[in-house]
Chain A
Amino acid sequence: MTTKLPIDRMIDTKNGTISREIFVSPEFHREELEKLFTRAWLFIGHESQIPNPGDFFVSRMGEESVILCRDTKGAVHVFLNSCRHRGMKVCRYESGNTSLFVCPYHSWSYTTDGKLQGVPLYRVLYEGQLDRNEWSLIETPKLHIYKGTVWASWDAEAPDFMTYLGDAVDHLDQVLDCRDGRPGGSEVIGIHKWILPTNWKFAAENFLGDTYHNPSHRSVDMIGIGPSARAGQTGRRDNEYNKGQHVWASFPAGHGVHSVWMPEDFEYQPSYAQYPLVDEYFRHCFEERKKRLGDKARIMPFTGNLFPNTSYHGRQPRGLCVWHPHSATETEAWRFFLVDADAPAEVKDVLRRFYMRYSGPAGMTEQDDMENWLYATKASTGTIARRYPFNYQQSMGAYKHNDPIPGDVSTQITEQNARNYYDVYAKYLKGDGWASLLGTGDAVRAAAE
């Protein structure tokens, strides 16, 4: 699969320039849908949303609606939400429990494992012609459940999810594991869905490790909205990472994270002032986590983006965010908020209140992000604007390989994560094979190591 778009000229990470076209041009948008969203592993939802047989949750993959469903035998599927007859959306509820998806248009019905079951007047109209086994709901060939989170890819050739994730797993674990270090155990307590007049990559890149945009959050840092703000502390979250070494790590498959590498003897920093029970809970979790994880406990998460469009916040707040493109300049954002399923009620209550005032369209912190992304997109659509690339020269070359953690690691604020991300993005648009997309067949990288 080749492309007519001059991708190498537009994405020049050696010199640190990237064309604005990739953020505003409908052509790039179409190419992304064709070549990237049909192949990459995408986040679908969380098992806590479909605990019982017959439970479903309607999600998205790129521009399309999909149904995440646990069939009546307990197996999990992801189906395109479109009837095989004339394409009607077979499910227009957001979630629920059912034994059949009945199409509103001509009433074909599908079982929870996707099989076409009911076809009205089958004997008279279709006998001998329509083979029901051939007309199941369209299902993703690849699906993987990792610590409760469900991921899928439309590419039957895609590598397994854990290979795709690579060393970024250590960082995703900090989002998905219990605060005391037990594996998994999170639950979704709510979802935001909203429309952003922006290119989806602005959002992904923001979480990928753009710590440089901190000044845009000055207002919340000044007034204090964090979990200890009621006790008079400024800042938008607690200072949990005192004495830690901030690290920005990127990985060959395109993922990028901003985490903190804590010193060997790091100690709990009091947080959640005014909520002694919550502070006590997190202190306890902190000690347990250290015991359980040993050296790995030294990784503490800020934000990250798993290629291409699943971002996360690791602790304060904590959740996964998916950026679904509607067009080059419009994005549908979904945020899934996470807590430890077995956390005490008071802990969950303090967390959800903090999440709401921090995140999403009503979030005092993220409103300012959205303002930036909107006007950065708008001001890049003009004829003259599109002639001038964005600058990605920050901290060029300032990273080490696998030191102190796996990945290409910078200990200063950097756009290396973004340069790496767009290198991988370019490979998808050029239709590279999986060895190249995972960075395992990359001669340049091999030579550099």
Chain B
Amino acid sequence: MSRFDRLALKQEIEDFLYMEADLLDQREFLKWLDLLADDLIYFMPIRRNVKFGQHAEKENTKQGEGISWFDEDKWTLGKRVEQILTGVHYAEEPLSRVTHMVSNVRLLEVSPSADDAQDVVVGCRFLIYQNRVEYESNTFIGRRIDTLRRNGDSWLIARRELILEQNVLLAKNLSILF
């Protein structure tokens, strides 16, 4: 695997992530759903204030157990989209204005190789600005780890973990898609 293969792959993955963010911000929710693998895991833990040394074990709620902000699958995300499309989901009616920014993109795992990547684990930062109705605004900032799976000349999101840098959630709702 050459450095150029890796660079090309990184560019391809970044383009995918930016395109995906754009679909959400352009409110192309159904097209966005098409980017999700059928076996998607979509997870946002709740962060806790723990003693030094206990972070690995206790700071974040765990996927697959207990209560997190999100621990769901493609069906549930499909329901979230369906709900917005009813036009009577008042928490998103009228629709929020949202910008998803993605930065600090890094390829964490590539298999089997950069010149024939089928599965890629990519880390990034997200900065999401939500503004709704007149004066309401929220900023969601954190780290994200995505597992992407090759799908022809594009990718599917097979796993998304969103590490939001908040303890008590400072927004009244998580009504947007992350």
Contacts and interface: CB of A to CB of B under 8 A. Distances in A.
B80 interface: yes
A370 B89 CA distance: 12
B91 A370 contact: yes
Interface stretch (A66-74, A117-125, A220-228): A220-228
Contacts of A195: 168-172
A361 B174 contact: yes
Interface string A207-237: 0000000001011101111000110000000
B168 A194 contact: yes
A69 to B, nearest CB: 15
A364 interface: yes
Nearest to A369: B91
Contacts of B168: 193-195, 332
The 4 A-B residue pairs with the shortest CB-CB distance, nearest first, are A190-B67, A367-B91, A194-B169, A219-B89
A166 interface: no
B41 to A, nearest CB: 12
A399 B26 CA distance: 52
Interface in A181-215: 189-198
A93 B70 CA distance: 23
B79 A229 contact: yes
30 contacts: A93-B49, A96-B51, A96-B54, A190-B66, A190-B67, A191-B46, A191-B67, A193-B169, A195-B172, A196-B172, A216-B90, A218-B88, A219-B90, A222-B86, A223-B79, A223-B83, A225-B79, A225-B83, A229-B79, A353-B71, A357-B76, A357-B79, A361-B173, A361-B175, A362-B70, A362-B174, A364-B89, A368-B89, A371-B91, A372-B90
Bin the interface of chain B by size: 35 or more
Nearest to A189: B66
Given A189-B67, A219-B83, A372-B90, A194 B72 contact: no
B88 A356 contact: no
A131 interface: no
A92 interface: yes
Contacts of B167: 94, 193
A290 interface: no
Contacts of B83: 219-220, 223, 225, 364
Contact of B172 (A92, A191, A197, A356): A197
A7 interface: no
Contacts of B82: 223
A277 B75 CA distance: 21
Contact of B46 (A190, A196, A197, A367): A190
Given A367-B175, A370-B172, 8 more contacts: A219-B89, A332-B168, A356-B69, A362-B69, A367-B89, A368-B91, A371-B172, A374-B136
A352 interface: yes
A194 to B, nearest CB: 4
A104 B55 CA distance: 20
Interface SS of B by simple majority = loop
Interface in B137-152: none
Contacts of B69: 356, 361-362
A374 to B, nearest CB: 6
A43 interface: no
Contacts of A79: none
B68 interface: yes
Nearest to A190: B67
A195 B91 CA distance: 15
Interface in B106-151: 133, 136
B46 to A, nearest CB: 7
Given A94-B48, A96-B51, A189-B67, A219 B172 contact: no
A230 B46 contact: no
B70 to A, nearest CB: 6
Interface string B40-72: 000010101111001000000100011111111
A373 B70 CA distance: 23
A238 to B, nearest CB: 16
Contacts of B75: 230
Interface string A367-384: 110111011000000000
A216 B174 CA distance: 18
A335 to B, nearest CB: 9
Given A197-B172, A230-B75, A190 B68 contact: yes
A280 B106 CA distance: 47
Contacts of A197: 172
A337 interface: yes
A93 B167 CA distance: 11
B68 to A, nearest CB: 7
A219 B173 CA distance: 16
Interface in B68-109: 68-72, 75-76, 79-80, 82-83, 86, 88-92
Given A93-B50, A195-B172, A356-B72, A190 B61 contact: yes
A49 to B, nearest CB: 12
B79 A364 contact: yes
Contact of B173 (A352, A357, A370): A370
